[in-house]
Every structure is written in C-alpha cells, then in structure tokens.
Amino acid sequence: IDGPGIVTHLWFTISSREARNQLILRAYWDGETAPSIDAPLGLFFGAGHGDAKVPFFTNAFFDISPQLGLNCHLPMPFAKKANLTLTTSGDAKVSAIYYYVEYAKLKSLPANAGYLHARYHSEDPCAPKQDYVFAEGTGRGQLVGVNLQIDAKADGWWGEGDDKITIDGVDISQGTGTED
C-alpha cells in the first residue's frame, strides 16, 4: 500500500484451526528490511495454543468471533509504504484463507506518529526461577499489550507467577499472578 496512510483494520479467517499459528504475519513499514510485525497469525490476534478451541473475545483492539474471524483495530501508520505478508511455517493443510486490510490514505502523518511493532517470543522450557522477560525497549513509545500463553508441563500447576513491570530499573507494578 502506498502512503502516507494508516491501516485501520485487519481481518482474517482460515479453514484450518490447526494452521492458525503456522501462518506467519509480517508487516514492513516504509521499506524496512526487517519486519515490524513478525508473529504467528493466531497469536498476533490472541488465539494461541495450537489447535485448541478459542472462545470468542472482544477488547479495544482485538476480537475473535465465534466462527474464528480474527480482527485487529490497532492503528498502523506508515509514511511511504506498507507491505503485509502471510507465509506458512508448517505442514498443516489450509484449503482457504479469507482476509482484508482496511486503510485510509492521508496527506501526511502527524509528526508524533508511532509505528506498530509486534514480536513473537517463546521459551520452552523457561529458565527455572528466573523472570521471563516479555518486552524490552528503548526510546519513545507505548506498550499496548501482551498476549501471554503458558503450557503447563506438570499436573497441579496453574500458571502462578507474579507479573511485574520495570521501567529504568524501577519496579512500577506488581500483579497478582499470571493465573489471572
């Protein structure tokens, strides 16, 4: 998509629940060589755990319909060009993919416009008794959210582990645990 512009809505649905995290969504803004979005399709939208059934949900930026329509309403501005790709990383059979990308052309971007970045990260197994770092960053920006999925490896463990946010070495938030 030639810019300047802003992607306002992504929608996908696929024929195979098993393939939703073997399809990799990537977005490149303004001629980047490394993608700003690089994540399994289902996990980007909040539908994780392989082929598990995902209940529908809605929040300010994402929703998954009961028929597994994957929707993202995060604003994704770009100055010169937006290039979105979907590639497979596995062997699950996909007989149909339906999608659309809604966007608006702009005369120019606001000077303070930020670019959307989303990254997939996984550790299996995680290092015992060490914090799992889900995001690190420098410079101007905002953390919009985190989709944390845990596969328990032992019976009787439900994912306990307190979440915390640290900025510049100072703990600013201590949560009640990832089981919530």
Q: Are 16 and 94 in contact (CB under 8 A)?
A: yes
Whole-prediction pTM: 0.86
DSSP, collapsed to helix, strand or coil, labels residue 43 as helix
- Nearest alpha-carbon partner for 74 in 16, 131, 11: 11
Q: Is-contact 59 101, C-beta < 8 A?
A: no
pLDDT band (50, 70, 90) for residue 175: confident
DSSP state of 118: E
In whole angstroms, give the CA distance from residue 154 to residue 79. Answer: 48
Residue 49 has pLDDT above 90, yes or no: no
Cβ contact 74:15 at 8 Å? no
> What single-letter amino acid sits at 123?
E
Where is 75: in which H helix or E strand?
Answer: none
Would you tell me how many other CB atoms lie within 10 Å of the CB of residue 38?
Answer: 16
Question: Phi and psi of 21, rounded to 5°?
Answer: -105, 10
Lowest pLDDT segment from 21-25, 62-66, 170-174? 170-174
| Cβ–Cβ < 8 Å for 20, 78 | no
Query: So what's the pLDDT on residue 167?
Result: 78
Indicate the SS3 state at residue 19: helix
| Model pLDDT, residue 55 | 66
Choose between 90 and 25: higher pLDDT.
Answer: 25
> pLDDT at position 176, please?
75
| Token output for 123 | 């550790």
User: Looking at residues 5-15, what average pLDDT do you find?
Assistant: 94
